[in-house]
Amino acid sequence: MGGRMGEQQQEKNVYHIWDSGKFPIEFTRIALLLSVLTVFLSFVPVTQALEPAWNYSRAGGEIGGVAVSPKGDLIAVGAGRVLFFAGNGTLLTQEPFGNDVRMTADGKYTASVYSSHIYYFQNPLPSGSPDQQRATKLWDYELSDQVYSFDMNRDGSLIAGQTIRKNLIILNTKARVARGNTKVTDSVIQISGSGVIGLSDSAIHTYSTTANVTRTEDLVTNSAPRFLVLPSGSTAVFSDGQAIRSVNIRNGTERWKRQLNGAVSALSIAPGGSLIVAGTEAGNIGGFDTHGNLSWSYSSNPENRQTAGITCIAVSDKGSVIAVGTADGKVLFLNSRGELTGSYRAREYIRHIAMNTDGTVVVATSDERVYAFSPGSQQSATPSPARTGTVVMTSVASVASSAVQTPVSGPSEPAPPATIPTELPTTYSVIRTATQSPPALITLLVSLALVVAIFSRRQ
State percent of the chain over pLDDT 70. Answer: 71
> Coil, helix or strand for 446?
helix
What's the distance, CA 431 to chain centroid? 8
Tell me the whole-structure pTM to 2 decimals. 0.76
Q: Are 225 and 190 in contact (CB under 8 A)?
A: no
β-partners of residue 452 are none
Categorize the per-residue pLDDT at 48 as very low, low, confident or very high, splitting at 50, 70 and 90. Answer: low
Kindly give the interhelix angle for 2-19 and 23-42, rounded to the nearest 10 degrees.
Answer: 60
Q: Are 280 and 297 in contact (CB under 8 A)?
A: no
pLDDT (tens digit, 9 = 90+) per residue, 378-422? 433 333 333 345 556 543 333 233 232 333 333 333 333 333 332
Q: Are 16 and 10 in contact (CB under 8 A)?
A: no
Spatial CA neighbour of 172 closest among 221, 222, 207? 207
pLDDT (tens digit, 9 = 90+) per residue, 51-104? 999 999 988 879 999 999 999 999 999 999 999 999 999 999 999 999 999 999
Q: How far apart are the two ends of the chain, measured CA to CA in Å?
A: 28
Categorize the per-residue pLDDT at 272 as very low, low, confident or very high, splitting at 50, 70 and 90. Answer: confident
Region 168-195: mean pLDDT is 92
Please give the mean pLDDT across all residues of the chain.
Answer: 80
Pick the range with the lowest mean pLDDT from 11-20, 203-212, 266-275: 11-20
- Phi-psi bin for 206: left (phi > 0), alpha (psi -120 to 50), beta? beta
Q: How far apart are CA 2 and CA 334, in angstroms?
A: 65
More confident site: 113 or 4: 113
Checking if the pLDDT of 44 tops 70, the result is: no
pLDDT (tens digit, 9 = 90+) per residue, 183-194? 999 999 999 876
Q: How far apart are CA 430 and CA 401, in angstroms?
A: 21
- Kindly report the three-state secondary structure assignment for every residue of 395-445: CCCCCHHHCCCCECCCCCCCCCCCCCCCCCCCECCCECCCCCCHHHHHHHH
Which strands, in side-by-side order, build the sheet including 158-163?
147-152, 158-163, 168-172, 177-181
Q: Are 68 and 103 in contact (CB under 8 A)?
A: yes
User: Domain-by-domain residue ranges, the chain?
Assistant: 2-44+439-458, 48-436
Q: How far apart are CA 244 and CA 257, in angstroms?
A: 6
Give the alpha-carbon dihedral of 243, 244, 249, 251, to 10 degrees. Answer: -40
Q: How many CB atoms lie within 10 A of CB 444?
A: 15
Q: What pLDDT is stored for residue 444 in this prediction?
A: 47
Q: Which CATH class is domain 48-436?
A: mainly beta
Categorize the per-residue pLDDT at 49 as very low, low, confident or very high, splitting at 50, 70 and 90. Answer: confident
Query: What is the length of the chain?
Result: 459
Residue 13's Cβ-side half-sphere holds a number of Cα atoms within 13 Å equal to 7
pLDDT (tens digit, 9 = 90+) per residue, 217-254? 999 999 999 999 999 889 999 999 999 999 999 999 99
pLDDT (tens digit, 9 = 90+) per residue, 355-369? 999 999 999 999 999
Checking if the pLDDT of 294 tops 90, the result is: yes
* Whole-Å CA distances, 149 to 172, 288, 368: 17, 26, 20
